[in-house]
């Protein structure tokens, strides 16, 4: 049984991979890279998964004592994210209180990360779908800031744009920071993760 399920939200395929809406998926790919983990496709579950072991940062915890974490990205579009999340929770027998969803957040500036437990969906279609399919919003979230568009650009257009060359250095640091926050959350708990990363 997996200790934790960490799902990075986004839209599938290379067309969307670099968009703002896909920063959640970018974070779980960073975690898989750290763990030298190979991704596996699960067409029936509508998800791709990778397994890593995560120990408290800087403690040198041996891998057999570290937390087992299943990383996942969805094979559905954002507004159907709840389908693979529900499938994964059932297949892996993970409770919602051991689910972490990593997602883009309009109300947080680019470069900032926040961790929380439960709460509303704030208009996010991926979170709405997860609530609809699982019947709960009581899971952990790692919220990755993308900011709001300036001028008259619609939010729906904004989340489907890529990052500018000037933003990419900030993006890289933010993805690293969000991956660190996930590791802290699953090994040290929410209070320590918030103290360290909700700056």
Structure tokens at 33: 């890279």
Between vectors from CA 25 to CA 46 and to CA 184, what angle results, nearest 5°?
115
Asked whether the beta carbons of 73 and 122 are under 8 A apart, the reply is: no
157 CB-contact burial (10 Å; exposed 0-12 / middle 13-18 / buried 19+) = exposed
Between vectors from CA 171 to CA 13 and to CA 196, what angle results, nearest 5°?
120
Integer CA distances (angstroms), 145 to 4, 21, 45, 171, 173, in order: 23, 10, 28, 9, 12
Least Cα distance to 9 among 128, 157, 177, 154 occurs for 128
Asked whether the beta carbons of 121 and 131 are under 8 A apart, the reply is: yes
* Options 21, 29, 98, 103, the catalytic residue: 21
21 among known catalytic residues? yes
Least Cα distance to 20 among 130, 124, 139, 141 occurs for 124
Active site residues: 21
């Amino acid at each position: 049984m997996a200790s934790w399920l960490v799902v990075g939200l986004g839209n599938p395929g290379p067309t969307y991979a670099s968009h703002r809406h896909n920063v959640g998926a970018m974070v779980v790919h960073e975690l898989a890279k750290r763990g030298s983990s190979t991704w596996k496709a699960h067409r029936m579950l509508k998800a791709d998964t990778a397994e890593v072991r995560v120990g408290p940062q800087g403690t040198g915890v041996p891998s057999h004592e570290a937390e087992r974490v299943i990383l996942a990205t969805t094979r559905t579009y954002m507004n159907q994210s709840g389908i693979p999340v529900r499938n994964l929770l059932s297949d892996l027998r993970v409770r919602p209180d051991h689910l972490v969803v990593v997602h883009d957040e309009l109300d947080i500036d680019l470069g900032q990360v926040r961790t929380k437990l439960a709460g509303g969906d704030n208009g996010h279609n991926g979170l709405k779908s997860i609530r609809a399919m699982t019947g709960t919003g009581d899971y952990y979230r790692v919220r990755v800031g993308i900011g709001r568009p300036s001028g008259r650009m619609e939010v729906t257009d904004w989340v489907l744009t890529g990052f500018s060359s000037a933003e990419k250095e900030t993006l890289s640091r933010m993805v690293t920071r969000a991956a660190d926050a996930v590791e802290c959350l699953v090994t040290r708990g929410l209070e320590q993760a918030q103290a360290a990363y909700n700056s």
